Amino acid sequence: MKRKKFSVEQIIKALKRIEAGEQAKAVCRELGVHEQTYYNWKKKYSGMEVDQLKELRMLRTRIIVSRRSLLIKF
């Protein structure tokens, strides 16, 4: 089955729509994702804003790059 890629911004918008009162089933159907995907997104991204997620992603990439550079030195 083909996987769809959603940007962080799209995921946050979907979570905000559901928090605002729309039904999870309706939003999931519109996006073409399973309800379980919504709950996974909620567990992972709830309570965060887009700029916070971008900062988190940037920090994770910095950590990965620094670990790789340490492995190369040894």
Using the predicted structure, report yes or no on whether residue 1 has a pLDDT greater than 60.
Answer: no
- Residue 59 domain-assigned (yes or no): yes
Q: What is the mean pLDDT of residues 45-72?
A: 85
pLDDT grade for 70, boundaries at 50, 70 and 90? confident
Looking at the 3D structure of the chain, how many domains does it have? 1
pLDDT of residue 71 exceeding 70, the answer is: yes
In a domain, 37, yes or no: yes
Q: What is the pTM of this model?
A: 0.66
Domain assignment of residue 34, yes or no: yes
Residue 2 lies in a domain: no
| Burial class of residue 59 (count of CB atoms within 10 Å of its CB; 0-12, 13-18, 19+) | exposed
pLDDT score for 49? 82
* Structural domain contains residue 32: yes
Please report whether residue 3 resides in a domain.
no
Summarised one tens digit per residue, pLDDT across range 18-39 is 999 999 999 999 999 999 999 9
Which domain range does residue 61 map to? 8-73
CATH of the domain at 15: 1.10.10
